[in-house]
Amino acid sequence: MPKNQALFERAQQVIPGGVNSPVRAFRAVGGTPRFIERGAGAYIFDAEGRRYIDYIGSWGPMILGHGHPAVLEAVHSAVDEGLSFGAPTLREIELAEEIIKLVPSIEQIRLVSSGTEATMSAIRLARGATGRSAFIKFEGCYHGHADALLVKAGSGLATFGHPTSAGVPAEVVQHTLVLEYNNVAQLEEAFSLHGPELACVIIEPIAGNMNFVRASLPFMIRLRELCSQHGALLVFDEVMTGFRVGLHSAQGHYAGLIPGFKPDISVFGKVIGGGMPLAAFGASRAIMANLAPLGGVYQAGTLSGNPVATACGLATLRELQKPGFFEALAARTRTLVEGLEAIAAENGVPFSADSQGGMFGFFLLPELPQNYGRVMTTDQPRFNRFFHAMLDAGVYLAPALYEAGFVSAAHSQADIAATLDAARQALR
Q: What is the rounded distance in angstroms from the CA atom of residue 172 to the CA atom of residue 201? A: 17
Options 237, 264, 354, 415, the catalytic residue: 237
Q: What is the rounded distance in angstroms from the CA atom of residue 65 to the CA atom of residue 47? A: 20
- Alpha helices (runs of H) in 180-216, residue ranges in sequence order: 184-194
* Secondary structure of 251-267 in HEC code, one letter for each residue: HHHHHCCCCCCCCCEEE
Q: What is the rounded distance in angstroms from the CA atom of residue 280 to the CA atom of residue 268? A: 5
Q: DSSP secondary-structure letter at 210?
A: S
Options 43, 52, 55, 142, the catalytic residue: 142
Helices and strands (DSSP H and E) totals, the chain: 13, 18
205: CB partners within 8 A, 6+ apart: 214, 215, 220, 236, 237, 238, 241, 250, 251, 253, 254
Contact in structure between 175 and 134 (CB atoms under 8 Å) = yes
- Alpha helices (runs of H) in 233-379, residue ranges in sequence order: 249-255, 285-288, 307-320, 325-346, 372-375
Q: What is the rounded distance in angstroms from the CA atom of residue 4 to the CA atom of residue 398? A: 17
Nearest to 136 by CA among 160, 158, 118: 160
Q: What distance, in Å, lies between the first and last C-alpha atoms of the chain?
A: 31
Contact in structure between 60 and 36 (CB atoms under 8 Å) = no
For 140, half-sphere exposure in the C-beta direction (CA atoms, 13 angstrom radius) is: 27
Q: Is residue 152 annotated as part of the catalytic site, yes or no?
A: no
State residue 355 phi and psi, 5-degree precision: -155, 160
Beta strands per DSSP E along 140-271 = 151-152, 162-163, 176-179, 198-203, 206-207, 213-214, 233-238, 265-268
Q: What is the rounded distance in angstroms from the CA atom of residue 321 to the CA atom of residue 96? A: 15
Please state, in angstroms and as integers, the Cα–Cα distance from residue 233 to each residue in 109, 126, 199, 283, 293, following that order.
16, 7, 6, 10, 22
Considering only CA atoms, give the Rg of the chain.
21
State the catalytic residues.
142, 237, 270
